[in-house]
Amino acid sequence: MLDIKFVRENKDIVKENIKKKFQDEKLELVDKVIEFDKEVRELKKNGDDLRSERKKISDKIGLLFKEGKKEEAENAKKEVVAINEKLVSMEEREAELNAEIKKMMMVIPNIIDPSVPIGKDDTENVEMERFGEPVVPTYEIPYHADILEKYNGLDKDASGRTSGNGFYFLVGDMARLHSAMLSYARDFMINKGFTYCIPPFMIRSDVVTGVMSFKEMDAMMYKIEGEDLFLIGTSEHSMIGRFKDQIVKEDSLPITLTSYSPCFRKEVGAHGIEERGVYRVHQFEKQEMVVLCKPEDSMDWYKKMYGFTVEFFRSLDVPVRTLECCSGDLADLKVKSCDVEAWSPRQQKYFEVGSCSTLGDAQARRLGIRTKGEKGTYFVHTLNNTVLASPRALIAYLENNYQEDGSIKIAPALRPYMGGMEVIRPKE
């Protein structure tokens, strides 16, 4: 959410930003916000004038009674009553306008960074850099579900009976490999100096609306019936919400956290939710990183964070690339974002395994997360990035470490979490 003062003083910049995001239907909101804000400021000024007048009259009433001017005193009391009634009406109008302003401000997109490429949707995202050689082996790489089933590692028939489409059972060595990757991701980030957290897996609606746009919320979040609670779609939601309405110490910045959680997503409008594999599912597990920092440090942290994800996947012998998200592919709160994509030797293309974003002070402004320094009190900047989201990352690992005899190589980094195993072979 933008600062109302910024919108008031930079109307053309805000409108141009909306155009860059191809959301022209929101242009009229800028004019309405400015119009309503002007009326609110006039109401405040008039209200202050009326309160000042009321005080003068009230101070005079006692004196009039003392001087025996009862009729004048009674008339003055009527003036005070009339002012009170007018003030109530004005305050009601002010509250009504502020509610409308907030509603509109919540959907006006954040100002994107000048370096963001302009494009309508994810088809116009721009490749930044590749890491590792995207090898296509001479032998066939099976579909990931076939690899999992070869190891008796996937049971979607049972999950269909227990939970429906979009869920899965991972079993045996494949379940262990999945957990090993998550444990390694946790320790990888701890070794980078991040503090490990396990957050609540449900959050209240005021936290949801603080960390994401309404459009994202409707498409992603599962609501708990009869309660003001939602299942998290990523631990970022809880982790940022942890600092709601807090003033963090400036000397504690940056706050660098890494968190584990299961994640739950409706995937509204997603294609392939009923496929037999586990690429797009309603439930998965994730190791996330979250940073709160000073505004001047946010871009440096943005580069560091997606760099950690690249380093993580390369340590597992998975080639990756980074992809700059274009303006039309950015969620409304984001200033800048990039995806990390893993190489699929089976499909001979890259697919998304993580995303890194800086949101400026948008989340902090919505949630009231501030810090206090020599220059006064100000909103912090927030960033988030995927270290690993599995089973999608498991797919990338299996395809890139699948050997001709059907066995799976275990990368040295994972061996301590796999009982020292160097290779997994299918059980007869």
Q: What is the pLDDT of residue 87?
A: 94
Q: What is the pLDDT of residue 273?
A: 56
3-class SS shares of the chain: helix, strand, coil, % to 5:
45, 20, 35
CB 210, CB 241: distance < 8 Å: yes
From first to last of its 428 residues, the chain has per-residue pLDDT tens of 899 999 999 999 999 999 999 999 999 999 999 999 999 999 999 999 999 999 888 888 878 887 888 888 888 888 989 999 999 999 999 999 999 999 999 999 999 999 999 999 999 999 999 999 999 999 999 999 999 999 999 999 999 999 998 999 999 999 999 999 999 999 999 999 999 999 999 999 999 999 988 777 888 899 999 999 999 999 999 999 999 999 999 999 999 999 999 999 997 655 555 567 899 899 999 999 999 999 999 999 999 999 999 999 999 999 999 999 999 999 999 999 999 999 999 999 999 999 999 999 999 999 999 999 888 999 999 999 999 999 999 999 999 999 999 999 999 999 999 999 999 998 76
CB atoms within 10 A of CB 317: 15
Q: What is the pLDDT of residue 303?
A: 97
Q: What is the pLDDT of residue 198?
A: 97
Query: 60: which 2 tokens?
Result: 């005079």
CA gap 236, 229 in Å, rounded: 16
CA gap 267, 261 in Å, rounded: 18
Q: What is the pLDDT of residue 64?
A: 80
Q: What is the pLDDT of residue 428?
A: 66
- First CA to last CA distance, the chain: 57
CATH code for the part of the protein at 122-424: 3.30.930.10
CA quadruple 203, 205, 207, 211: dihedral, nearest 10: 110
For residue 74, which amino acid is it? E
For residue 246, which amino acid is it? Q
H/E element, 173: helix 172-190
Domain spans in the chain, listed from the N-terminal domain onward: 4-105, 122-424
CB 151, CB 426: distance < 8 Å: yes
- 336-369: b (≥16 Cβ within 10 Å) or e: bbbbbbbbbbbeeebeebbbbbbbbbbbbbbbeb
- pLDDT tens for 265-280 read 997 655 555 567 899 8
**Of 403, 220, 409, which Cα lies nearest the Cα of 211?**
220
Cα torsion 364, 366, 372, 377: sign: positive
CA gap 277, 272 in Å, rounded: 9
CB 2, CB 88: distance < 8 Å: no
CA gap 130, 377 in Å, rounded: 41
Q: What is the pLDDT of residue 374?
A: 87
Q: What is the pLDDT of residue 76?
A: 86
Does the predicted model carry a pTM greater than 0.85?
Answer: yes
CA gap 188, 416 in Å, rounded: 13
Q: What is the pLDDT of residue 71?
A: 85
The CATH homologous superfamily to which domain 4-105 belongs is Serine-tRNA synthetase, tRNA binding domain (1.10.287.40)
DSSP codes of every residue in 19-78: HHTT-GGGHHHHHHHHHHHHHHHHHHHHHHHHHHHHHHHHHHHHHHHHTT-HHHHHHHHH
Residue 106 DSSP code: T
